[in-house]
Amino acid sequence: MVRFDHRDAGTTEAAWRASGFLDRLPPLVVSAATPHLVVLAAHPDDEALGAAGLLVRSSRRGTPVTVVVATDGEGSHPGSPTHSPADLAARRRLELVEAVACMAPDADVRFLGLPDGGLREHRAALHQELSKVLVSVGPSDRAPTVAPPGRPLLCAPWRGDGHRDHRIAGEVAAAVAAEQDAQLVEYPIWWWHWASPDDVSDQVTMRRLTLTPDERAAKSRAVSAYRSQVSPLSPDPRDAAVVGPEMLLRSEREVEVFVADEPRSAAPGQAAARTTAETLPVAFFDDFYRGRSDPWGFETRWYERRKRDLTLAALPRPRFRAGVEIGCSTGVLTASLAARCDRMTGVDLAQAPLDAARRRLGQAVELLRLEVPREWPPGRFDLVVLSEVGYYFSATDLETVIDRALESMSDDGVLVACHWRHPVAGYPLGGDEVHAALAARPGLARLARHLEQDFVLDVLVRPPAVSVATAEGLA
């Protein structure tokens, strides 16, 4: 736990802005298909200061929202001569209800009433109650739908925020998210006060959510609802405002910042991800393949063979008229796809893997060297495969890739995406982010998903998604 005093000046908002830190952060991709947003607050006002914009956007998209409040914040003014802890607890509950109405009017609010400052001692109770919430908003035990729902999004205080209750809330949220297969993002609050732009670690993946003017206005109203925190309770120094001028300036930002969910474990010897802004250049792949005939182990690793078999098994039809694989590399998967397609095209931007693919495939597959997304293979395809390629693109270029894939897909087209979920140093995006961007597209509906610790596989079609059994008249 970091020791700090909220009454100190701390790092000013002017210093944060002058550093350019906020401008350098890549965007947070929040899928419009997220089935439920759960926001955990350690104290009333955390959710408004840290995640109001996310709450507003999700609510206006029609995403169901639940706000879970661990404590009543009765310890905000210890020794107050005008308000007892019970008075503060009652007042802050009312303020939270008012604030949530500004952000997500239809949200379900759940007060846990755990002791302010005592979450460490009540970790088990918080874990139990938060688990109940995630279970209640997750998929039901009824027969599966044609298009399986996505993963709920859990938003919690950041474990690295420096405040003990925030750390415990974040740790519990991370554990529950892993157990319930929920997405996780965390929001810093006090970190902005005691840290500096030079304190950001390469081990931390931060993202920004750019707010619209309406979202910023709703956030301002929500923060203002916490009158017991933003204004003095009385002239007595013990009743001074807890949320000071610098924190209020931070709440007026055009962006909210979140720490992205990190994969549960990294592959042996692998560094944590460090996000970069740009699509990886051709030179990166030229260097990577130089002198290496099978750098990924496509031909030798059981992991790769198993993943390839799962990808092929997930295809919803026995045959396709025309398929294209973006980032075909040395053509190992391409060869298997070609056996299911009347016509198959493989695309890569590096010459060395294409040469290897030509030796493997001969004239059976059309192989093109193209700089995607600036270039794209001509024609229409009823099978588009993005396998282990999406995280090489910047967030902007990935959106263009998805645009071009949709433009080239036939009306009965199928898009298959499969990506590694562990962090890789230097890649612009992670696999989960790639699949979140795909899930956010209204022109795509998920037909099937396979998710495990190492990789995620999605089969997407144009809506509505019709299951294989339904298409064959079995259901």
Tell me the average pLDDT across 224-246.
95
Asked if residue 205 lies in contact with residue 275, where contact means CB atoms within 8 angstroms, the answer is yes
Tell me the average pLDDT across 336-341.
98
Q: How far apart are CA 52 and CA 196, in angstroms?
A: 23
Helix (H, G, I), strand (E, B) or coil at 130: helix
Tokens of 89: 């607890």
Beta strand 183-187 with 255-260 is antiparallel
- Residues, the chain: 475
Architecture of the domain spanning 13-260 = 3-Layer(aba) Sandwich (3.40)
Q: What pLDDT, on the 0 to 100 scale, is given for residue 284? A: 85
Q: Among 3.40.30.10, 3.40.50.300, 3.40.50.150, 3.40.720.10, name the CATH number for the domain at 282-471.
A: 3.40.50.150
Beta strand 320-326 with 341-348 is parallel
Q: What pLDDT, on the 0 to 100 scale, is given for residue 147? A: 37
What are φ and ψ of residue 38, in 5° steps? -115, 120
Q: What pLDDT, on the 0 to 100 scale, is given for residue 139? A: 60
Confidence band for 149, pLDDT divided at 50, 70 and 90: low
Helix residue ranges, H only, 323-417:
332-338, 351-361, 395-408
190 vs 171, 225, 354, 426, CA distance in Å?
A: 16, 20, 51, 28
Tokens of 229: 């925190």
pLDDT 10s digits, 135-146: 988 764 433 333
Which of these ranges, 124-128, 354-358, 441-445, has the smallest mean pLDDT? 441-445
Confidence band for 426, pLDDT divided at 50, 70 and 90: confident
The secondary structure element, H or E, covering residue 384 is strand 381-387
Confidence band for 151, pLDDT divided at 50, 70 and 90: confident
Asked if residue 249 lies in contact with residue 13, where contact means CB atoms within 8 angstroms, the answer is yes
Q: Is the per-residue pLDDT at 90 higher than 50?
A: yes
Helix residue ranges, H only, 80-163:
85-103, 123-137
Helix (H, G, I), strand (E, B) or coil at 321: strand
Q: What pLDDT, on the 0 to 100 scale, is given for residue 172? A: 93
Average pLDDT, the chain: 89
Q: What does the domain layout of the chain look like in residue ranges?
A: 13-260, 282-471
Q: What pLDDT, on the 0 to 100 scale, is given for residue 201? A: 58
Q: Name the residue with higher pLDDT: 203 or 244.
A: 244
pTM for the full predicted model: 0.57
Q: Is the per-residue pLDDT at 120 higher than 80?
A: yes
Tell me the average pLDDT across 184-192.
94
Asked if residue 103 lies in contact with residue 59, where contact means CB atoms within 8 angstroms, the answer is yes
Helix (H, G, I), strand (E, B) or coil at 32: coil
Sign of dihedral through CA atoms 277, 278, 283, 285? Answer: positive
Query: Would you say the CATH fold of 282-471 matches that of 13-260?
Result: yes
Helices 46-61 & 85-103, crossing angle to 10 degrees? 30
pLDDT 10s digits, 275-285: 345 899 898 88
What are φ and ψ of residue 412, in 5° steps? -100, 20
Residues pairing with 255 in the sheet: 210
